Structure 1
């Protein structure tokens, strides 16, 4: 049986097992994070006030986006003023994949700035269509990311790749882009696994975490609307993004197996919401209710 088929077909087996230490406190709550892209509109209007509201809601760390833009650096400063940790940030993937593009900051400079601002993780948040048109394109991306991971490792920074659903779309001979990454990423190149997109791609998140033990550095906790059609490798309706506890993804066993397999950080995220601030409060309150 192929690795992908095993992950998909065995999902029910893992979910049927008893929850890990079901009576124990939910892990990561003393360091629970949020990907600030969730609040991008609010941040554009009132960065300082938004960060303060995040801290008040109970989040312990934040993951900015767009590093090293002036706005992202301000996110870092304001979060730390509020007592929150900042370990990781998303950044412009073109610095690694297309350094020849006009206006793109060299990756070495990004690493230097990341060190200056005391970041321990940097994450490639996306792949443009041209970089994922076929398996050879994915292989080329793997080579570039491995080279960048060598540099980042020398700077004591963990480089990771954040998935969406398109990486799980079967391509030549049924193989996927994610298969290419799993096969070709070096030991210094990690994954930031987004459970929403993994689920939407037709893969069981718990099975994926188990199969990549030691290779996932961080998780994005994001719920998927119960009526969603799976798999879906294309466009996603805005209302498919749900608050944690309202959708089809059971976060408790995911967070427990994540801790058991050594994943460093978990960040709540919700790409779309009519009221993002209310959504992040609802999500963390649900997680808190499972930790009492």
Structure 2
């Protein structure tokens, strides 16, 4: 009887209860990855030294969106020598459509599983006609990458795709009209929030269609729009801006996002990247 009363009192106090144990689990226990664009100026000068800088943070997962004048095999060798990997390779729209085999070859040489495009060429507001052409292109090239090279194609949103359409947006249209087996997505959380949308809600809506994520934060006080652009100084350390990172990360885990990359476009990365890593660890 005394034992039962003691157990009950401990549960009421929250000691030893499942809820208490769960509340102490880190929300983001692993190390994030890094987008090469964050260190673009440094990579342009010295790839090996830049990888050393990133590895010093304990980060081993890279997304390269530029070869910085080097051969893919040389970058792969530098990664291998440091126990690092490139999980995603980013290229531009035209090259992927017109040089699919070459881009796939680079991705394979780097050891990447994903090929990513982050901008759809367009002038003025993004339109339904543009979206239709994009759907056709993405389905075609995504199938080639999957069937012929064993690669997964991902599109990285950039804000302009959230033009209203029907009951949703043209981004919804892109997701719904592309084939899930051939087209996946990389959510850039800043470029989802900037045009006025909730990253967590979108993750909950489309789940496993999102396989990759860019972790970024937007300076407080900045008002967004559908332009797909904002000054790089508006990128701030994670947890210091407007985005609700804990809620977004919980939704991302539920959706099954496979790789999370820090992307900081600002000129303050020496200060902000360590801040962002510390913030993720603190959650």
| TM-score normalised over the length of structure 2 | 0.84
Q: Is 1:167 equivalent to 2:168 in the alignment? A: no
SS at match of 1:110: helix
> How many residues are paired up?
261
Q: Which runs of 5+ in 1 are unaligned?
A: 1-17, 100-105
How much has 1:60 moved relative to structure 2? 2.7
Higher relative contact order (CA 8 A, sep 6+): 1
User: What is the aligned partner in structure 2 of residue 226 from structure 1?
Assistant: 220
Note the alpha carbon deviations across 1:95-131, whole angstroms, 9 max, x for none: 234x2xxxxxx20222133223321111012122249
How much has 1:206 moved relative to structure 2? 0.3
How much has 1:45 moved relative to structure 2? 1.9
SS at match of 1:123: strand
Instruction: Check whether the contact 2:96–2:103 (CA below 8 A) recurs between aligned residues.
Output: no
How much has 1:235 moved relative to structure 2? 3.8
How much has 1:69 moved relative to structure 2? 5.9
For residues 163 and 270 of structure 1, the distance between their equivalents in structure 2, rounded to whole angstroms, comes to 16
How much has 1:212 moved relative to structure 2? 0.8
User: What is the aligned partner in structure 2 of residue 23 from structure 1?
Assistant: 24
Instruction: Check whether the contact 1:195–1:220 (CA below 8 A) recurs between aligned residues.
Output: yes
How much has 1:275 moved relative to structure 2? 2.6
Q: Is 1:79 equivalent to 2:79 in the alignment? A: yes
Output aligned runs, 1:112-261, within 5 Å: 112-130=105-123, 133-154=126-147, 155-170=149-164, 176-188=169-181, 189-233=183-227, 235-261=229-255
Instruction: Check whether the contact 2:162–2:226 (CA below 8 A) recurs between aligned residues.
Output: no
Output aligned runs, 1:59-70, within 5 Å: 59-66=59-66, 70=70
| TM-score normalised over the length of structure 1 | 0.81
Note the alpha carbon deviations across 1:196-251, whole angstroms, 9 max, x for none: 01000111010010001111110110001111113453541232111101111122
